[in-house]
Structure 1
Amino acid sequence: MINEHPGAVAGADRHRIDACFLGPYGENDALLERLVVEFLRDHVYWRRNFHPEDPPAISTEASRHPDYLAFESRMRRELHQLSAALKKSVPFHSPRYLGHMVSDLLLPGLVAQILTLPYNPNNVSEDAAPVTVDMEVQVGLQLARMIGYRHDPAQPDCAFGHLTSGGTVANYQALRLALALKAFPVALRDAGVPDLELPEDDWCAFNLHPHAATALLDRYQSWLAAQSPAQRRHWRQRVQSARIEHLGLAGFLARHAELRVPLVLAPVTAHYSWSKGLKLLGLGRAHLQLLPERGMRLDTDALEAMLDRCRRDRQPVLMTVGVLGTTEYGTVDPIDRMLEVRERASTAGLGHSLHVDAAWGGYLATVLRNEDGSLRSRDEVAADYQAFPAAEVYSAIAALGDTDSVTIDPHKLGYLPFGTGAFLCRDHRVTALLAEEADYVFHGSAPKGYLERYRSLGQFIPEGSKSGANAAAVFVTHRVLPLDHRHFGQLTRQTILAAEAFHRRAMVFAGQMQACVAALVPFAADSNLVCLALNPRGNREVAEANAFVRSLHDEMRADPGQPLQLKQFFGSVTTLRPEALGAAEMQRILGALGLDAATLEGADDGDDRLLILRHTLMNPYLIDHENGISYIDRYFEYLQERISRLSASRGRAAAP
């Protein structure tokens, strides 16, 4: 039986959501077919009307030629085999899928991508994508508005964003930009540029606040523009030859002996892309310092202590990283307090960037935004939910607009096709430090207008060639569902309500199953991931608890060797680690489950952490009002049956 939870989506809003997806049962197949056929025909008409005086190059008789027919037959055979193979794919569309950060695709994005693919735009520049390059730049402004960055291109400090293959590449871009901005004032000093009020020494230049470094870059560009063409060329070449991008890290540091490789400070729950990024940029994994958590969020006292130590040791810091929706737990770091810590460190002479990895949780900001872009109060937001947002979560999301850069993945909580990650920076002027030149792609000096500047997008981004179809998918989706609480926020709201309903049902489940298993939601959900820790009743060993959870998960993971229909539900697992939780939190969870902490501390790799079930609650049909079905209830009924069978087997195995 479905219990209507507080703030449940009203009928009209549910029907609006119903038009957004193909549906778990393919209910909107006719709509999708009409749209695809309509725009495929439209594409064909475009081809025919490009130069109608040109005759058809493929004759009508060609389709009857044996070679043509053989090729068609071979193509159909391979496509049918592909279609058959794809039936083994993970059913992300189903409300029975509770695993990773993916769900069904929004129809406007899916159709926009399909519609655009035959045009094959390459978003490296407007020469190859005169339409979709502008769309990509507009997507950056749409996302900037959502998180609170300045998004008016007429303003000199307007934000800038672009799409990437995913959050990993967006995080690389954040590192690349932060390093360029950090080192540029040193290059100005090295080049001896006059009249700019440069910092007094290399240490001060390398440790400017990002706002001050951006202002210095702006003054330099204004000064350069006022010089004669010959002087402009001279000073541009002189500064470029002193930059870290020209010298390389080793050459730059050899030239400035007072400086050291800067650190990146991130929470222990940070995504592994940060380790990859430091290796890729040549900074080295040793310069990634992982900081402890407190209550599943970054410990800002530990962050401040580390920054104080760095200042005393004259160890520069490139950036601090906060996570808004960790990959494993969906938890939200205290971005507002991290900003306060950064300001104090910068005032003391240790300036550095603050980046937020919101690959998962970025779209949570939609529920905080009014239609005019203003911020809703916490009380307004909380009226829709039972517990969300915690005061700390609200403050963290509301503070995004004061950070230096953000990663967001539209292909996660944006319900869009893969290949649509996004990078945003607070002030677009800093992108001048990333610009490349390629005469065959980018022509002449960059125009002064914001949109014109970024039509040569490939100058500023890590990728070269990239699909404009992805940009079209995101742009159209954000136009159909604007990024505020009344539009896109209705989808985000559904995921949060589902997480709250899941948490409540987990508490009921724990009471029902207490005779055979200890069940615990180890920490309240900050977003829409809910974890569940389990331990067979009477067991004290972490290794045995892990084996028990692993057995449960074995029946809920994709197995290409079995028909999908044999799986009742799909789920995922993660681990709880003492270094992530802290000793006190780890002890609390182990104690509640009846586990002996000593069996964790002395365990080998794999059992030196606690395995738990992890549930991503994205699907908008987890509670099916149309048919009176709660897939959340059904999941716990399934789990109850599986645990009862496992417990019975365990009991028989233990019997003499």
Structure 2
Amino acid sequence: MSEEFLKLLSASQRTLDEGFSHLPPNPAPSLGEAASAILQRVAERLHDNYPYAHPLYAGQMLKPPHPIARAAYSLAMSINPNNHALDGGRASSAMEVEAVAAVAKMFDWPQHLGHLSSGGTFANLEALWVAGQLVPGKAIAASDQAHYTHSRISTVLGLPFVTVPSDATGRMDLTALEHLLATENIGTVVVTLGTTAIGSVDPLDQILALRKKFSFRIHVDAAYGGYFTLAANLSPKTRSAFDAIPHADSIVIDPHKHGLQPYGCGCILFRDPAVGRFYKHDSPYTYFSSKDLHLGEISLECSRAGASAVALWATQQLLPYTPGGAFAQGLESGRNAALNLYERLTKSAHFVTPSAPPQLDIVFWTPSASTPDASSALAEAIFDETAKNDLHLALAQLPTRFFSRDKWENLAISDQKSTVTCLRSVLMKPEHLLWLDHIWQRLYAAAVKVSTVNTSIEPA
């Protein structure tokens, strides 16, 4: 934590404290002599983590919050507001309304109903709950690459769930979807803009076109990829999907992913504010301090951290959601890093890459070998070897159909369920582009070392 950060936080804390200086003194209790030793132990225990904030951590989708988000969150925690009702967080509730409006504006939704949540899972729960109220008993459909939470949520809500096959690029198969819609049993289609496994983007624009023939709701799960609507370097197909967002019925985005926020901070938006009627409920002891809207009146969650809203609002003031701005440039940098890494992998004989480049900022590949099982074993060996050299990647079990059939010997064309263990990298930090040479050097060195004891990998 930098000295500048601590100075800014200290100065802001004094300003906050001055706002309550007219009250009788009520000094905070001393932490006591044991506090220092305890916090030292906490710091030592926290060493047992991967270095998530460092660019050499290029594994799972873990991105450090921006310093201003950390500072604003810490500042708000001295009050610990609860954004369920205005009684528990007047200022933070107002900041949440403004922050959510900024997210809606990013998606070109001037009219909306929405709020922050504890994360994407609960935000998706609310979206599918509302869908179940509007089209009761009808099934939820989502791609086989969609997040597993949709199947679980559907079970919780008592709604049927149907899986739609994906194509070789991980996007929802439109022909399969149309056949399902023809049954008239589908009430809501979940369209994923940025799957958490490979960052694939379902063709929202083409799915919207199917509403000319069939009646169904469209919920966009953009928990991971939503902010890429600001990026100027998407492929035409991906751009078309994002440009269609204004015509969806609901959307989820996670500011605690690309939005530079601490966990947990999700966001749910509905295009039609009238769905607020489904939230209506009575409370015998809240909602009386003001006739203005209390956020608990449009949320399934009750207590919610007001500090999350404060942190998001502060970050938006520093880094507004404008195309070409600093925030958008950070997203573009991550995508450029993914494209750069994909190009290096494709040119190397050590690795097998999918035929299509990354759709967002997630790259996956597997070592070159004679069979998927051999590639899988090598992937695990390289994963361990890179970690020894402080490069941390991730592993993922993915369908072999994401790769060309000629990559392995004797792989049956009909074997649609065959999988292979892949190495996977989420290059979501803006600085990943600057560190790509370091990442590649460590990855390549690990592959060379592993290949010396396994002849199934030919030198690059």
Q: What TM-score comes out, normalization by structure 2 length?
A: 0.92
> Distance in 1 between the 2:113 and 2:198 partners?
29
Indicate yes or no: 2:179 matched with 1:364. Answer: no
Following TM superposition, by how much is the alpha carbon of 1:389 offset from its aligned partner in structure 2, in angstroms?
Answer: 2.0
Instruction: Report the equivalent of 1:466.
Output: 304
Q: 1:138 to 1:533 in 2, by over 3 A?
A: same
Do residues 290 (structure 1) and 163 (structure 2) align? yes
Matched, 1:321 2:151: no
In structure 2, what residue type is equivalent to 1:146? M
Question: Secondary structure at 2:200's aligned position in 1?
Answer: coil
State whether residues 518 and 594 of structure 1, in contact with CA within 8 Å, keep that contact through their aligned partners in structure 2: no
Q: Deviations over 1:516-559 (max 9, x none)?
A: x34324431111111122223xx2x32221111112223456xx
SS in 2 for 1:423: strand
What is the DSSP-based 3-state SS (H/G/I as helix, E as strand, rest coil) of the residue aligned with 1:414? coil
Q: Which amino acid aligns with 2:22?
A: F
Read off the aligned partner of 1:535 and give its amino acid letter: S
- Give the structure 2 partner of residue 441 of structure 1: 286
Equivalences for residues 238-317 of structure 1 within 5 A: 261-283=137-159, 287-294=160-167, 295-308=169-182, 310-311=183-184, 315=185, 317=186
Q: Could you tell me which of 127, 138, 143 is aligned with 2:98?
A: 138
Aligned to 1:427: 272
Return the alpha-carbon distance in structure 2 between the equivalents of residues 597 and 141 of structure 1: 51
* Amino acid of the structure 1 residue aligned with 2:176: A
Distance (whole Å) between structure 1 residues aligned to residue 74 and residue 18 of structure 2: 16
- Match of 1:298, SS state, is coil
Q: Alpha-carbon deviation of 1:470?
A: 0.3
Q: What's the counterpart of residue 341 of structure 1?
A: 210
Any idea what SS the aligned residue of 1:611 has? Answer: strand
Listed one character per residue, the Cα deviations across residues 336-372 of structure 1 (whole Å, up to 9, x for unaligned) are 11111123202xxxxx2100100111000123xxxxx
SS of alignment partner, residue 293 of structure 1: coil
Kept in 2: contact 1:292–1:298 (CA 8 A): yes
SS in 2 for 1:131: helix
**CA distance change for structure 1 residues 262 and 460 in 2, over 3 Å: closer, same or farther?**
same
Q: Does 1:164 align with 2:117?
A: yes
SS of corresponding position for 2:83: coil
SS of corresponding position for 2:214: helix
Distance in 2 separating the partners of 1:612 and 1:55: 60
Instruction: Indicate yes or no: 2:431 matched with 1:621.
Output: yes
42 and 180 in structure 1: CA distance in 2 versus 1, 3 angstrom threshold: same
**3-state SS of paired residue (1:33):** helix
* Structure 2 match to 1:246: none
CA deviation digits over 1:44-66, x for unaligned, max 9? 3334x132xx25568xxxx9xxx
- Against the structure 1 CA distance between its residues 547 and 602, is the aligned structure 2 distance closer, same or farther, given a 3 Å change threshold? farther
Q: Which structure 2 residues correspond to residues 82-93 of structure 1 after superposition, within 5 A? A: 82-93=42-53
Distance 1:650 1:493 in 2: 38
Q: Whole-Å Cα distance in 1 between the matches of residues 37 and 385 of structure 2?
A: 33
**Greater radius of gyration (CA):** 1
Q: 1:182 aligns with which of 124, 135, 160?
A: 135
Q: Do the aligned residues in 2 keep the contact of 1:103 with 1:415 (CA within 8 Å)?
A: yes
Task: Decide whether aligned partners of structure 1 residues 497 and 408 sit closer, same or farther in structure 2, where only a CA change above 3 A counts.
Answer: same
Quote how far apart the aligned CAs of 1:598 are.
Answer: 4.3
Tell me which amino acid in the other structure corresponds to 1:433: F
Instruction: Call closer, same or farther: CA 1:443–1:179 in 2, change over 3 Å.
Output: farther
How far 1:651 sits from its partner (Å)?
Answer: 4.4
Tell me the equivalent position of 1:545.
375
- Hey, what does 2:408 align to over in structure 1? 594
Partners of 1:421 and 1:617 lie apart in 2 by 21
Partners of 2:386 and 2:266 lie apart in 1 by: 28
Distance across 2 between alignment mates of 1:356 and 1:56 = 48
8 A contact 1:102–1:413 mirrored in 2: no
| 1:635 partner letter | I
Q: Which letter maps to 2:284?
A: D
CA distance in 2, matches of 1:595, 1:443: 70
Q: Are the counterparts in 2 of residues 304 and 341 from structure 1 also a CA contact under 8 Å?
A: yes
- How far apart are residue 296 of structure 1 and its match? 2.2
CA contact (8 A) 1:291 1:303 kept: yes
Return the alpha-carbon distance in structure 2 between the equivalents of residues 462 and 56 of structure 1. 36
Correspondence for 2:74 = 114
The equivalent of 2:363 in structure 1 is 530
In structure 2, what is the Cα distance between the partners aligned to 1:55 and 1:495? Answer: 49
1:395 paired residue among 220, 240, 248: 240
Alignment check: 8 A CA contact 2:141 2:161 kept: yes
Which position in structure 2 is the counterpart of 1:225? none
**Counterpart Cα distance in 1 of 2:414 and 2:392:** 28
State the secondary structure of the residue aligned to 1:178.
helix
| Distance in 1 separating the partners of 2:416 and 2:273 | 51
Are 1:109 and 1:474, in contact at CA under 8 Å, matched by a contact in 2?
Answer: yes
Amino acid at match of 1:282: G
Give a deviation string over 1:592-618, Cα, whole Å, max 9, x none.
x23431499599xxxx41111111111
- Read off the aligned partner of 1:547 and give its amino acid letter: A
Instruction: Provide the aligned C-alpha RMSD in A.
Output: 2.3
Name 2:3's counterpart in structure 1: 30
Residues 431, 460 of structure 1: 8 Å contact kept? yes
For the residue of structure 1 that corresponds to 2:221, the secondary structure is strand
- Read off the aligned partner of 1:418 and give its amino acid letter: Y
Q: Distance in 1 between matches of 2:140 and 2:277?
A: 23
CA shift for structure 1 position 86: 1.1
* Cα drift, residue 569 of structure 1: 0.5
Return the offset for 1:507.
Answer: 3.0
- Is contact 1:101-1:412 (8 Å) kept? yes
**After superposition, what is the alpha-carbon deviation per residue over 1:444-502, rounded to whole angstroms, capped at 9, x for unaligned?**
9x95xxxx32xx11122121111100011111111221111132212112112222222
| Distance in 2, Cα, partners of 1:622 & 1:337 | 33
Shift of 1:577: 1.9
> Is 1:496 matched with 2:330?
no
CA contact (8 A) 2:197 2:396 kept: yes
Which of these residues, 247, 263, 272, is aligned with residue 418 of structure 1?
263
Give the corresponding residue for 1:104: 64
For 2:416 and 2:343, how far apart are their aligned partners in 1? 35
Tell me the residue number matched to 1:635: 439
Q: Is the 8 A contact 1:325 1:361 kept in 2?
A: yes
Matches within 5 A, 1:61-72: 72=32
Aligned residues: percent identity?
Answer: 26
Q: 2:397 aligns with which of 566, 575, 580?
A: 575
TM-score (norm 1): 0.66
Matched to 2:225, the amino acid is G
Q: Hey, what's the Cα distance between the residues in 2 that align with 1:264 and 1:418?
A: 28
In the alignment, the residues of structure 1 paired with residue 409 and residue 130 of structure 2 have an alpha-carbon distance, to the nearest angstrom, of: 46
1:137 and 1:160 in contact (8 A); partners too: no
Amino acid at match of 1:353: R
Contact 1:522 1:531 in 2 (8 A): no
* C-alpha deviation, 1:99, in angstroms: 0.8
Cα displacement string for residues 197-252 of structure 1 (whole angstroms, at most 9, x for unaligned residues): xxxxxxxxxxxxxxxxxxxxxxxxxxxxxxxxxxxxxxxxxxxxxxxxxxxxxxxx
Q: Is the 8 A contact 2:364 2:425 kept in 1?
A: yes
